[in-house]
Structure 1
Amino acid sequence: MERWNEAIAAVEEHLDGGPDDTVLAVDELARITGTSEYHFRRVFSALAGMPLSDYVRRRRMTLAAAVIASGTTTVSDVAARFGYGSADAFGRAFRAVHGIGPQEAREPGAVLRSQGRLSFRLTVEGSTPVQYRLVQKPAFRLIGRSTRVPLVYEGPNDAIQAFERSITPEDRARIAGLSDQEPSGVLSVSDAFTEGRADGSRLRYSVV
């Protein structure tokens, strides 16, 4: 975890660099952690719960909000400090994170969002034994709802989340009532992957 915290320190040093995380030299962050750029992004997303680009954007706008709220610097100067080519582009990025524009952030009582600096620590889990059994079952039919979604290795799968939200409690109760095998209840099943399982390829996601 020490190397990952060193990478976070490097990110912090470049937060004034620009709106795109490519200025952070992701390959250098990968070198610090001893991984490839691809695996750095993938592992970062798994550890942090968000893609690197989202973390950088939130941290950058957290620092920018503090400068904006102080009222001592013009919005154009703040935009330039954080690498944006115009106050309009900065304002759009600011609003995407905070829900309000830079000028509104200077009003009394304005509510802003803050992204804290990440710190990685090693926690060992799994000391409690888990009972399981392997069961050979004859062919059976899955009944429920399914859709085709992209395979996403980094960050949340928006297509799966949207599909899950589309299923009403009544639908789930009906699906659960059709179950006549173990394990009982409503299950999520992923299958029919595109050969190779490349990022962005398709799979079938079912709620059964």
Structure 2
Amino acid sequence: MEWIEHLNKAIDYIEIHLLDDIDYNQLGKITGCPAYNFQKIFSYISGFSISEYVQRRRLSLAAIDLQNSESKVIDIALKYGYTSPTAFNRAFQSLHGIAPSQVKECGIPLKSVLPISFKMTIKGVEEMNYRIEKKEEIRIIGIAQPLSKDIEENFKIVPQMWHKAGMDGTLYKLADMMNSHPMGILGVSVYKTKESLSYFIGVASTSQIDDTFEEYIIPASTWAVFSNEGTQESIQDLERRIWTEWFPSSGYEYVENVSDIEAYLNSDPQNAKYEVWVPVRKKA
């Protein structure tokens, strides 16, 4: 239940700060996982990103203000974070289907977007295959790129990295250098500090590298390792289930600032065999 409670506390924080810039790092602290992870899991569970959720909540409240106050449209736009009337107009119409100036007309239908509330559901029909492993530090080699605090940007950055690595031969070169566990081509979220996150495509290896590759040492950790197969969508579903089904009942908690690993064991994107490695420790 703790994870669900943390999610709802994060929503409470968003509601309190709905008219401010949302501090994603604070959301990470509230939920006990890195901001990037929280944004990713939120999108898997809800079906939309945090920024989209915040925008929809703001536009819902903006419609109420436009109905019930004498404020000008530009003042309402500024209140809800839009410095451009054109941008506010466009966003408002995308949700409500009408221009802000039409709100006061009688009989105009509007959309109400209520705060999300997360609830725990009892499942178990669909099994989850996992094991607990203790490993000494893991040396990975490969290519890395800093990630943005905005997960929507990262949803562009990461696929572009994989595409480029596949097209320029990087993945084949890395596969030839793979000689340690975890096996497979690895996608690794690297937390150099709480504020600095990079994405690493690489392999576990003891091989020497040239200046085309970087290395990173993942510290010794205990891991919950989940195995499955399917498409990219099934990986997202597995990660959603890890956080919403496994963690609440496992007796383990997430360890911050280590790394999260996706290990791809074959090269077929439509029938991928993969493992998700999550750093954990037993709850006190």
Q: Which interval holds the TM-score relative to the shorter structure?
A: 0.5 to 0.7
* Match of residue 53 from structure 1: 51
Give the % identical residues.
36
Is 2:13 the partner of 1:40? no
Q: Which residue among 89, 92, 95 is the counterpart of 1:94? A: 92
1:10 aligns with 2:13: yes
Q: What's the offset of the Cα at 1:205?
A: 5.0
Partner residue, 1:76: 74
Shift of residue 12, structure 1, vs aligned partner: 0.6
> Which whole-Å CA distance do the structure 1 matches of 2:48 and 2:17 have between them?
19
SS at structure 2 position matched to 1:24: coil
In 2, the alpha carbon distance for the partners of 1:113 and 1:60 equals: 12
Q: CA shift at 1:80, angstroms?
A: 1.4
- 1:86 deviates by 2.7
CA RMSD, 1 decimal: 2.8
- CA distances 1:61-104 after superposition (whole Å, capped 9, x unpaired): 00001001224211111011112113222111111211111011
Q: State the AA in 1 paired with 2:37.
A: H
Kindly provide the amino acid, as one letter, of the partner of residue 27 in structure 1: N
Give SS of 1:6's match.
Answer: helix
- Distance, in Å, in 2 between the alignment partners of 1:114 and 1:205 is 38
CA distance in 2, matches of 1:50, 1:7: 16
Q: 1:85 aligns with which of 83, 86, 91?
A: 83
Call closer, same or farther: CA 1:101–1:39 in 2, change over 3 Å.
same
1:60-71 maps to which residues of 2 (within 5 A)? 60-71=58-69
| Counterpart pick for 1:24 among 22, 25, 34 | 22
Deviation at 1:129, TM superposition (A): 7.8
| Alpha-carbon separation, structure 2, partners of 1:121 and 1:42 | 18
- Tell me the TM-score normalized by structure 2: 0.43
2:98 and 2:268 map into 1 onto residues whose CA distance is 38
Q: Tell me how far apart the structure 2 counterparts of residues 100 and 36 of structure 1 sit (CA, whole Å).
A: 38
In 2, Cα distance between equivalents of 1:41 and 1:197: 17
Give the TM-score of the pair, scaled to structure 1: 0.58
**Corresponding residue for 1:140?**
none
**Runs of 4+ more than 4 Å apart:** 202-206
Shift in Å, 1:32: 0.4
Compared with structure 1, are the counterparts of its residues 4 and 129 closer, same or farther at alpha carbon in structure 2 (3 Å cutoff)?
A: closer
Closer, same or farther: CA 129–83 of 1 in aligned 2, 3 Å: closer
Higher strand share: 2
Aligned AA (1:108): C
Q: Matched residue pairs, number?
A: 137
1:8 & 1:190 partners in 2: Cα distance? 30
Deviation at 1:26, TM superposition (A): 0.6
Gaps of 5+ in 1: 18-22, 131-152, 155-188
